[in-house]
């Protein structure tokens, strides 16, 4: 840990586990170190990074102002999977904010992440430690598969628990706005702030789920890219649960009859209904956190399976189901059937 901290302080890159997904860290106050993150990931320059802190005192030098709700939200959810978008201080390099006047900050709930930040003694800018566009890594093996040779150190903390990224919440305006659904649910945030809105980019209202409609400018720049995608094409079927299963069965037969190999991402409840295709159980439909925990690992696993097309069942976009559906819609890249 001492060595990893030193590498960060000297401008190097360290990948590390958090409770959500693995991050690719650099000293957030060192513009050149941060630029190396973008290089290693092949990340578009206009997509800002989240700054990770290990203590509340580390927030003050990074922000110009502490908006209403900030402290209550930190009390309720830090350390944890909530990123707060706050007015940025001038000290934050534009490589981190991608030129925005805000900065996203979170305190991860993972002993290795916290120890690393403390050891470095600096705030740590870290996106998810995947190649840009790929599913986020939930194990050290995923990080090595994407970034091996491009990063000085990978700290292995075993599988990430939550499995989807933090919720990104903009609290610079009157009503908090969820820019990316994640490990803290909209319902839980509303329990603290009273009101909360969903950015139109979150649930597909701004476009066909994959890409926002023309003219819509996402407030979280990351939302405009195809993301979380396996290499194998994925079709997402969403809507009434009974009809979803019927439509997936129908599509499976259609593809199989054309000689294509079909993978089905199903739930524990629905898996027994499928007689064809390679069925993979994501988790329980009525407990979306179980699906979140395995989703990215399964999307990667499909690429190792002899499968030409993935048919994914949608679930109800409530609670953690909203984050799961947001990731699935974007993995589908607009390939969505509503039934
Ligand atoms: O759980 C997580 O948040 C993980 C772990 C490593 O902490 N990190 C992560 O980072 O998912 P990344 O870079 O893959 O996603 C950050 C998201 C992007 O959609 C980005 O556009 C958004 O947060 N974001 C960051 N700073 C922002 C800002 N100032 N305003 C709006 N959106 C911001
Ligand atoms: Mg990411």
Decide whether any atom of ligand 1 lies within 6 Å of the 119 Cβ: no
Testing ligand 1's pocket by substitution, the residue of 62, 97, 112, 128 carrying the most ligand atoms inside 8 A of its CB is 128
Q: Find the 136 Cα to ligand 2 centroid distance in Å.
A: 6
Decide: 161 in ligand 1 pocket, CB within 6 A. Answer: no
Q: What is the 3-state secondary structure (H, E, C) of the chain?
A: CHHHHHHHHCCCCEEECCCCCCEEEEECCCHHHHHHHHHHHCCCCCCCCEEECCCHHHCHHHECCCCCCHHHHHHHHCCCCEEEEEEECCCCCHHHHCCCCEEEEECCCCHHHHHHHHHHCCCEECCECCCCCCCCCCCHHHHHHHHCCCCCEECCCCCCCCCCCCEEEECCCCCCEEEECCCCCHHHHHHHHCCCEECCCCCCCCECCCCECCCCCCCCHHHHCCCCCCCCCEEEEECCHHHHHHHHHHHHHHHHHCCCCEEEEECCCCHHHCCCCEEEECCECCEHHHHHHHHHHHHHHHHHCCCCEEEEECCCCCCHHHHHHHHHHHHHCCCEEEC
209: left (phi over 0), alpha (psi -120 to 50) or beta: left
* CATH architecture classification, 2-210: Alpha-Beta Complex (3.90)
Is 166 flagged in the annotation as binding?
A: yes
> May I ask the CATH architecture of the domain 234-338?
3-Layer(aba) Sandwich (3.40)
pLDDT for position 221: 63
Taking CA atoms only, the protein residue closest to ligand 1 atom 17 is: 222
Per-residue pLDDT of the chain in tens (339 residues, 90 and over written 9): 999 999 999 999 999 999 999 999 999 999 999 999 999 999 998 999 999 999 999 999 999 999 989 999 999 999 999 999 999 999 999 999 999 999 999 999 999 999 999 999 999 999 999 999 999 999 999 999 999 999 999 999 999 999 999 999 999 999 999 999 999 999 999 999 999 999 988 876 554 444 445 555 556 666 655 677 889 999 999 999 999 999 999 999 999 999 999 999 999 999 999 999 999 999 999 999 999 999 999 999 999 999 999 999 999 999 999 999 999 999 998 899 999
- In sequence order, the 6+-apart residues with CB closer than 8 A to the CB of 35 are 95
Q: Which residue in the block uniquely carries the two structure tokens 């800018």?
A: 125
Residue 207 is predicted with a pLDDT of: 46
Ranges for all domains in the chain classified under CATH 3.40.50.11030: 234-338
pLDDT of residue 313: 98
**pLDDT confidence of residue 59:** 98
Give the tokens for residue 134: 């790929």
51 lines ligand 1 (CB under 6 A): no
**Ligand 2 centre and the CA of 257: distance in Å?**
37
pTM over 0.90: yes
Known binding residue 43? Answer is yes
Q: Say yes or no: CB of residue 335 within 6 Å of ligand 1.
A: no
48 lines ligand 1 (CB under 6 A): yes
* Cβ of residue 18 lying under 6 Å from some atom of ligand 1: yes
Distance CA 201, CA 104 (A): 18
pLDDT of residue 210: 42
Q: Determine whether the shortest distance from the Cβ of 321 to ligand 1 is under 6 A.
A: no
The interface pTM score, or ipTM, of the predicted complex is 0.99
| Ligand 1 mutation pick, 62, 100, 147, 165, max ligand atoms within 8 A of CB | 165
* 222 close to ligand 1 (CB < 6 Angstrom): yes
130 alpha carbon, closest ligand: 2
128 C-alpha to ligand 2 centroid (Å): 4
Cα dihedral 333, 37, 289, 300 sign: positive
For residue 124, the CA-to-ligand 2 centroid distance in Å is 15
Residue located nearest, by CA, to atom 19 of ligand 1: 222
Residue 278 Cα to ligand 2 midpoint, Å, equals: 28
* Domain boundaries for CATH 3.90.870.10 within the chain: 2-210
Residue with CA nearest ligand 1 atom 13: 127
Nearest to 318 by CA among 291, 279, 282: 291
Q: Which residues of 181-191 are buried (b: 16+ CB within 10 A; e: fewer)?
A: bbbbbbebbee
């Amino acid at each position: 840990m001492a060595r990893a901290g030193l590498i960060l302080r000297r401008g190097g890159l360290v990948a590390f586990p958090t409770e959500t997904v693995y991050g690719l860290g650099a000293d957030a106050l060192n513009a050149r170190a941060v630029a190396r993150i973008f290089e290693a990931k092949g990340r578009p320059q206009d997509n800002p990074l989240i700054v990770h802190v290990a203590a509340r005192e580390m927030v003050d030098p990074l922000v110009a102002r502490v908006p209403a709700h900030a402290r209550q939200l930190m009390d309720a959810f830090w350390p944890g999977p909530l990123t707060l978008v706050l007015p940025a201080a001038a000290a934050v390099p534009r490589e981190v904010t991608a030129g925005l006047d805000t900065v996203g900050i979170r305190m991860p709930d993972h002993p290795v992440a916290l120890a690393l930040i403390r050891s470095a003694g600096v705030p740590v800018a870290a996106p998810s430690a995947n190649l840009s566009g790929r599913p986020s890594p939930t194990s050290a093996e995923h990080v090595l598969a994407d970034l091996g040779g491009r990063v000085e150190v990978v700290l292995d903390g075993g599988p990430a628990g939550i499995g989807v990224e933090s919720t990104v919440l903009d609290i610079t305006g009157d009503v908090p706005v969820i820019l990316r659904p994640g490990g803290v649910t909209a319902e839980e945030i509303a329990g603290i702030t009273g009101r909360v809105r969903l950015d139109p980019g979150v649930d597909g209202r701004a476009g066909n789920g994959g890409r926002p409609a023309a003219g819509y400018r996402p407030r979280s720049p990351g939302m405009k890219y195809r993301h979380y995608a396996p290499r194998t094409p994925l079709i997402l079927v969403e809507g009434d649960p009974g009809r979803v299963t019927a439509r997936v069965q129908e599509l499976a037969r259609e593809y199989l009859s054309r000689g294509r190999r079909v993978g089905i991402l199903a739930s524990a409840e629905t898996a027994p209904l499928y007689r064809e295709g390679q069925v993979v159980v994501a988790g329980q439909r009525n407990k979306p956190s179980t699906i979140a925990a395995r989703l990215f690992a399964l999307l990667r696993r499909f690429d190792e399976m002899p499968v030409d097309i993935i048919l994914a069942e949608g679930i109800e976009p409530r609670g953690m189901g909203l984050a799961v559906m947001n990731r699935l819609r974007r993995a589908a890249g607009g390939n969505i059937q509503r039934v």
